Amino acid sequence: KNSTLSILKTEGDLQATLQTDHGSYVFSGRADRIDQFGGLIRVIDYKTGHVDNNNLKVPVHHHDENVLDYLKLIPEKALQLLLYKYMYLKENQALSPNQVSGTIHGLKYANNIEFGLYQEAAKSNGADVDFLGDESFISDMEAMLEAVVTEMLDTNIPFVQAEDNKKCGYCDFRMICKR
């Protein structure tokens, strides 16, 4: 394996457009670093606080679970990395999902600073769906994103304030809701 580290981009803007029945929607983000190491492209986010492997565990998707309910089970840091990976793949369509990883570098750790996404093990009883795998990654991400857009546009579903007040500090609508 090639163990040369090549930094491809720092503070890299990422963007993807999702076409839905409701219109066209642009998703964007900014990765702290994008590099290539050992033949793998890593889309990296730096974190100065605590990083727990459980924050990067992508749960198993069950047959009886709709994609929106499944999306709500994904920890925030894992979802962020999945979105970064999705956007990078949309910008670089010649790559396959197994060539790109979403990674967090925990800056407060002296030894193991790299934390990557990992999939929870599926049960062999047939109740689990192969979801977010290499073959279906793009279509699965788009199904989840479309479900979010559809819910946001549904006038029968009210907006609710975040349960965690810490999130309000980053919200563009904090002046409107006056929380």
Per-residue pLDDT of 1-14, as tens digits, reads 567 899 999 999 99
> 53 pLDDT band (50/70/90 cuts)?
confident
| C-beta separation of 142 from 18 below 8 A | yes
Instruction: Quote the mean pLDDT of the chain.
Output: 86
- Identity of the highest mean pLDDT range in 57-61, 96-100, 153-157: 96-100
Q: Identify the pLDDT of residue 167.
A: 72
- Let me know: does 129 contact 63? Beta carbons within 8 Å: yes
Give the per-residue pLDDT at 114.
Answer: 82
Predicted confidence at residue 179, as pLDDT, reads 67
What is each CA distance from 14 to 30, 62, 87, 89, 97, in whole angstroms? 6, 30, 6, 10, 16
Q: What is the pLDDT of residue 57?
A: 85
Least confident of 59-63, 76-80, 108-112, 134-138: 108-112
Q: How confident is the model at residue 46 (pLDDT cuts 50, 70, 90)?
A: very high
Percent residues over pLDDT 90 in the chain: 42
For residues 112 and 70, the model is more confident at 70
pLDDT given at position 155:
87
Note whether 102 and 82 are within 8 A (CB). yes
Question: For position 25, what pLDDT does the model report?
Answer: 94
Rounded to 5 degrees, what are φ and ψ at 141? Answer: -60, -40
> End-to-end alpha-carbon separation of the chain, Å?
52
Q: What pLDDT is recorded for position 125?
A: 61
Of 39-53, 99-113, 142-156, give the lowest mean pLDDT range.
99-113
Q: Are 90 and 83 in contact (CB under 8 A)?
A: no
CA-CA distance, 63 to 11, in Å (whole number)? 38
